[in-house]
A = this chain, B = another copy of it.
Amino acid sequence: MNKTIADIAQMAGVSKSTVSRFLNGGSVSLDTKRKIEKVVKATGYVPNTFAQSLKAKRTNIIGTVVPRLDSFATSHTLMGIDEELRSQHYQMLISNTSQDVKREIEAIYEFARQKISGIILLAAQITDDHLTAIQDISIPVLLVGQQHEQIHSLIHDDYRAGYDIGAYVLSQGHREIAYVGVTERDVAVGVQRKEGFRQAVRDALPAGCYTDEEMRAAGYDIRYYETGFKMSDARIAASAILDQFKPSLMVCATDNIALGVINAAYSKGITIPSDLSVTGFGGYDITEVIHPALTTVQYPYMEAGRVAAQNIVRLVEHKTVEPVTVMDYSLIERESVDKR
């Protein structure tokens, strides 16, 4: 395991330069090629990564910054990235920031220091500090899950998904709906999904029906709430909502929130879906196995990871990439929504 390029050169009876050229696909005569190949195979020689990187000033490593590790979306995206990167002979390095924006910035600089070739950034929001860091390091960055005009982005089609969920539940006859969203600082989850949904409602309303009163007169009562990303937060929020409003359906901005809502409903003796229908966003595995199974939007996280990996590699290799890549999704109708 400890052979150096000098050993190989000596054993093959050529110079180090030639071996290096052979390794990196430079021009080498067929004859020497064979000689070196034999020695490399026999010795199991592998070049020292550090020496390579020190000279070449770059690595075959893609750094991925993630806000958390214990999330279905993150882990599946990571698996997709890892798989694709591996097939392209790149390595994935993960930096977990535990939802700490300061650590996100640090991670970006730290990756730069380590001469990482490219960075995939899974972030809930992009601040000026992010922008500054990305500018500073002059390394390709791909944003996943959010969109920003100054950064190559890969997103899920949150707006359309929100619209589809809205159109679907309306088509099932629901008119009294609580939309349980998250902070608008997360544009994808907090704004896009909600606005998509809101637009679906608008499109369903009779013409000229805009104000809350007009909506109510038309039989619609749609209210918007905000909670955190954690199931426990959602449970508490849902409990409070249900004390003051009796919707026939709750649209939740994530599957986790939906799970919290379902739990809160059970605690109050509310049966799903006959008393209360529920929908989510995400398509986590667990949503299929609970009872009743959750109607939700399924995002192709693993596939998104693969595409993200392809894009960042293209960026690293100075090939063109669309400013924004939009992934598809599917609406999965299961048991948690009743007809009204």
Contact = CB atoms under 8 A, between A and B. Distances in A.
B289 A113 contact: no
A143 interface: no
Contact of A75 (B1, B69, B136, B291): B69
A54 B48 CA distance: 8
A322 interface: no
Given A235-B289, A291-B266, A70 B69 contact: no
Interface stretch (A152-160, A172-180, A210-218, A257-265): A257-265
A1 B113 contact: yes
A105 B94 CA distance: 20
Interface string A54-94: 10000000000000111010011011001100000000111
B70 A98 contact: no
B46 A54 contact: no
Contact of A94 (B68, B94, B259): B94
Nearest to A78: B69
Q: Interface centre among A54, A94, A114, A289, by most B CB within 10 Å?
A: A289
Contacts of A289: 231, 235, 259-260, 262-263
**This chain's copy number in the assembly:** 2
Interface residues of A, number: 41
Contacts of A262: 289, 291
A260 B291 CA distance: 11
Nearest to A263: B289
A47 B266 CA distance: 57
A329 to B, nearest CB: 19
Contacts of A290: 263, 290
Contact of A49 (B98, B113, B291): B113
A73 to B, nearest CB: 10
B98 A79 contact: yes
Contacts of A30: none
Contacts of A69: 69, 75-76, 78-79, 82
Nearest to A285: B231
Nearest to A54: B50
B96 A79 contact: yes
Given A76-B70, A285-B231, A286-B286, A115 B50 contact: yes
Interface of A: 1, 46, 48-51, 53-54, 68-70, 72, 75-76, 78-79, 82-83, 92-94, 96, 98, 112-115, 136-137, 231, 235, 259-260, 262-263, 266, 285-286, 289-291
25 contacts: A1-B112, A1-B113, A1-B136, A1-B137, A48-B115, A50-B50, A50-B51, A50-B53, A50-B115, A69-B75, A69-B76, A69-B78, A70-B72, A70-B76, A70-B79, A79-B96, A79-B98, A92-B94, A93-B93, A94-B94, A231-B285, A259-B289, A262-B289, A263-B290, A290-B290
Q: Which 10 A/B pairs are nearest by Cβ-Cβ distance? A: A50-B54, A70-B75, A266-B291, A69-B75, A50-B53, A50-B50, A263-B289, A94-B94, A231-B289, A46-B113
